């Protein structure tokens, strides 16, 4: 089954109004100029820029998402943002369970699953991030760690329409050390097989599994050509329009 490539930019805690909005506008122009693009494009700015990014991308093929969401719709959670608030601004996606949230905020698989459920309930597509640390890989635990995170973070109601998986080896994030095609394909194929068991062949065949971790214009084409890699979650290389666009041009 043909899965449409998703090129997703995770800006993390970068950019202010001036350069952030210029980047969205630049991408909107390029996507328009492309006509029938071979990929879906998503940007996930920091929360401060989500509203204006949604306005700048309105009516275009560039989607906007949050980098996280709370598991509750509303309430006494100072500093948090709910999935419903993201949807209200015009977002269509929310990243949940990024390794920086799992590390900085001690998020567990159970919490990530609850956040993904909240995203679904608010009408958003959840991008559920998983990935092993270098120590886990070196201890031969890569498959086990990713399987546990996948199955622990995946809501019962996950479908190919409301969920995207992102495999992001922690040792590759922001390091310039990218997974080899063999390393990426091994984990992606395992994840696909686990999705077959958990959700059935049809859902597993249709659900997108992104690779993330030092994806850049030089290595994107090789990674995006792998049979079970259905796009990228891109950090550093999503901060400049030329780089992000060049990654997207790596689509097979
Ligand atoms: P990177 O980040 O592309 O800068 O490695 C990817 C991510 O953390 O999503």
Q: What is the mean pLDDT of residues 176-192?
A: 98
d(CA 128, CA 164): 6
Rounded mean pLDDT, 210-231: 98
Say yes or no to pLDDT of 82 above 60. yes
Residue 42 three-state SS: strand
pLDDT for residue 1 is more than 70: no
Quote the tokens at residue 171.
Answer: 């040792």
Please state the pTM of the whole predicted model: 0.98
Distance CA 60, CA 160 (A): 23
- State the burial class of residue 232 (Cβ atoms within 10 Å of its Cβ: 0-12, 13-18, 19+): buried
Percentage of the chain surpassing pLDDT 90? 96
Helices (H), the chain: 17-34, 47-57, 83-89, 99-104, 109-121, 134-138, 142-153, 181-199, 201-206, 220-224, 241-248
Ligand 1 in reach of 9 Cβ (< 6 A): no
First-residue to last-residue Cα distance in the chain: 15
Question: What is the model's pLDDT at position 74?
Answer: 98
Cβ–ligand 1 distance for 234 under 6 Å, the answer yes
Q: Answer yes or no: is the C-beta of 214 below 6 A from any ligand 1 atom.
A: yes
Mean pLDDT of 8-36: 95
Transcribe 179-220 into DSSP letters: PPHHHHHHHHHHHHHHHHHHH-HHHHHHSEEEEESS--TTTH
Distance CA 176, CA 216 (A): 9
Active site annotation includes 222: no
**Of 100, 117, 132, 168, which residue is the catalytic one?**
168
Question: What domains can you pick out in the chain, each with its CATH number?
Answer: 5-90+103-248 (3.20.20.70)
Separation CA 219–CA 128 (nearest Å): 23
Region 226-250: mean pLDDT is: 97
pLDDT in tens, 137-165: 999 999 999 999 999 999 999 999 999 99
Cα–Cα dist 91/97, whole Å: 18
Active site residue 168: yes
- Torsion 184-156-145-41 (CA) sign: positive
User: What is residue 2's three-state secondary structure?
Assistant: coil
- pLDDT score, position 199: 97
Protein residue whose Cα sits closest to atom 2 of ligand 1: 235
238 lines ligand 1 (CB under 6 A): no
pLDDT tens by residue, 100-115: 999 999 999 999 999 9
CA distances from 11 to 23, 41, 227, 229 (A): 11, 14, 27, 21
Set 70, 98, 120, 188: catalytic member: 98
What are the tens digits of pLDDT across the range 106-143? 999 999 999 999 999 999 999 999 999 999 999 999 99
User: How far is residue 76's CA from residue 7's CA, in Å, rounded to a whole number?
Assistant: 34
């Amino acid at each position: 089954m043909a899965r449409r490539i998703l090129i997703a930019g995770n800006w993390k805690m970068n950019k202010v109004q001036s350069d952030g909005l210029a980047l969205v506008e630049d991408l909107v122009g390029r996507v328009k100029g492309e006509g029938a693009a071979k990929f879906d494009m998503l940007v996930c700015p920091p929360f401060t820029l989500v509203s204006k990014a949604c306005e700048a991308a309105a009516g275009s093929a560039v989607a906007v998402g949050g980098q996280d969401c709370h598991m509750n719709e509303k309430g006494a959670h100072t500093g948090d943002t709910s999935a419903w608030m993201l949807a209200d601004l015009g977002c269509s996606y929310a990243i949940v369970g990024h390794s920086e949230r799992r590390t900085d905020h001690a998020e567990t698989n159970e919490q990530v699953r609850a956040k993904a459920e909240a995203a679904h309930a608010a009408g958003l597509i959840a991008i559920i991030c998983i990935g092993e640390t270098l120590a886990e890989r070196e201890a031969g635990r890569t498959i086990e760690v990713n399987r546990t995170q996948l199955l622990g973070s995946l809501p019962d109601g996950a479908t190919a329409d409301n969920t995207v998986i992102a495999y992001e080896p922690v040792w590759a994030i922001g390091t310039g050390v990218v997974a080899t095609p063999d390393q990426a394909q091994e984990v992606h194929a395992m994840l696909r097989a686990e999705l077959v068991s958990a959700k059935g062949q049809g859902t597993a065949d249709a659900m997108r599994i992104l690779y993330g971790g030092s994806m850049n214009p030089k290595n994107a084409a090789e990674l995006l050509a792998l049979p079970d890699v259905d796009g990228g979650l891109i950090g550093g290389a999503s901060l400049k329009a030329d780089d992000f666009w060049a990654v997207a041009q790596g689509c097979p």
